[in-house]
Chains A and B, each alone.
Chain A
Amino acid sequence: MKITLGTVTHPGGSRVNKTGSWRTAGKPHFLHQRCIACDLCALSCPEGCIFGTGQKTYYANEDYCKGCGICANVCPVEDIEMVSEEDEHG
């Protein structure tokens, strides 16, 4: 790669970093029972890796989720729980 003065890079090129490998303390499991599609989990995710289009459709892209647990904490209907990495249902 040629290095010039200053650097111009591809927009959103950070997506090559699969920061999901950072998780040490579990990941969110979306129960899809009481979800009211308030979008608060997606809006509160520092990774921007939670998506959903309506009630009970939300999920986290585990390629990027760092397992911070904010989503489970802000969910007003307790429909997200943090589970251990080994949990197959997670």
Chain B
Amino acid sequence: MLEVEEQDKFGDHLFASGHTACPGCGQSLAARLVLRAAGRNVIVVNSTGCLEVFSSKYPESAWEVPWLHSLFENTAAVAAGIEAALKINGQLDKVRVIAQGGDGSTADIGLGAISGMFERGHDVLYICYDNEAYMNTGIQRSGLTPYYARTTTSPPGRVSMGNWRPKKDVPQIAVAHEIPYVATASVGYHLDLDRKIRRALSIRGPKYMQIHVPCPLGWGSDPAHTIDIARLAVNTGLYPLYEVEEGETKVQKIPRKVPVEEYLKLQTRFRHLFGKNGGKKELEEIQRIADRNIEKYGLIGK
């Protein structure tokens, strides 16, 4: 076994081992892949949430780059302030600013600050790690929780089949701000993720990226299946991968349509849809969402 110092020769570990994420955590993997693509010359601002907590157990840090914990709601505002300070000091050409947070932080409480950052045109890449609920506080529903998922605040039972509101389309909200770059990505497709991070950081101005990251604990999935599940979300059409640059949309095609059941049945958060008390109507509805995405983004074909 090599010593820690020797391992570092292999290079790309700007997000160190010893962090305290659950086994199989998609978000911890995505964070490491993001930094691998971004390199050392970054300042990262992180909102409150799992990533912040499992990477900064007092008095330690898993980060090998300058990293600040903001609040739950103001990550984009703090990053915007850092960018403004770098700009006035003439240092913005030397370092890139990344703001990052979970789906709750992004789609719900921090959305206003993000919109403001986009509107003012700050040169910041905002990254949302989308695990589809407030995981750090115990799996509460967020604006990015998909239809019919069980969370602790959307429990299925006699009067409910789980989350009854649609997943908020934050990437398209970002597009509506006419910022230069918006992309969705998945921890299941690391090459695509790597390319999009590099592309985003090569562009000046506000950028938005949303990365789908399975959460074994919150989704009730096997930690060993984190990558498979992330890929299934893409290949069912439920998580379309695309990028919008200067208003033009490019998509990552899927080879063939996979029925949504293949994805849903691997997660206990959807188990109630497969029970004897129905779920057929809800499954059809989820399939329709996937079909609509396939249609809308042209995910199949050349």
Contacts and interface: CB of A to CB of B under 8 A. Distances in A.
Question: Are A and B bound to each other?
Answer: yes
A70 to B, nearest CB: 6
A38 to B, nearest CB: 11
Interface string B1-23: 11010010010010111111111
Interface stretch (B27-35, B104-112, B119-127, B258-266): B27-35
A14 B223 contact: no
Contact of B224 (A14, A17, A18, A69): A69
A17 B18 contact: yes
A64 B1 contact: no
Given A14-B55, A51-B2, A46 B190 contact: no
Nearest to B222: A69
Nearest to B223: A68
B60 A16 contact: yes
Contacts of B63: 11-12
Contacts of A72: 224
A19 B17 contact: yes
Given A46-B21, A62-B1, A15 B224 contact: no
B7 A43 contact: no
Chain A, interface size category, equals 35 or more
A61 B2 CA distance: 8
A49 interface: yes
B29 A44 contact: yes
Interface string A20-49: 001000000000000000000001111111
B60 A13 contact: yes
Chain B, interface size category, equals 35 or more
A46 B25 contact: yes
Contacts of B58: 7, 9
Interface in A52-83: 53, 59, 61-64, 66-70, 72-74, 82
A5 interface: no
Contact of A14 (B7, B62, B222, B227): B62
A28 to B, nearest CB: 10
A74 B224 CA distance: 9
Contacts, number: 116
B256 interface: no
A48 B34 CA distance: 13
Contact of A48 (B26, B32, B222, B223): B32
B57 interface: yes
B60 A69 contact: no
A22 B25 CA distance: 14
B227 A70 contact: yes
B59 interface: yes
Nearest to A60: B1
Contacts of B65: 11
Given A12-B63, A46-B25, A70-B227, A61 B1 contact: yes
Contacts of A69: 24, 222-224
Given A9-B56, A46-B28, A61-B1, 10 more contacts: A9-B61, A12-B13, A14-B18, A14-B61, A19-B19, A47-B28, A48-B13, A68-B224, A70-B223, A72-B224
Interface of B: 1-2, 4, 7, 10, 13, 15-26, 28-29, 32-33, 55-65, 190, 222-228
Top 3 A-B residue pairs of the complex, sorted by shortest distance between their CB atoms: A69-B224, A14-B18, A68-B24
9 contacts: A11-B61, A12-B13, A14-B55, A15-B17, A43-B190, A44-B190, A48-B15, A59-B1, A74-B227
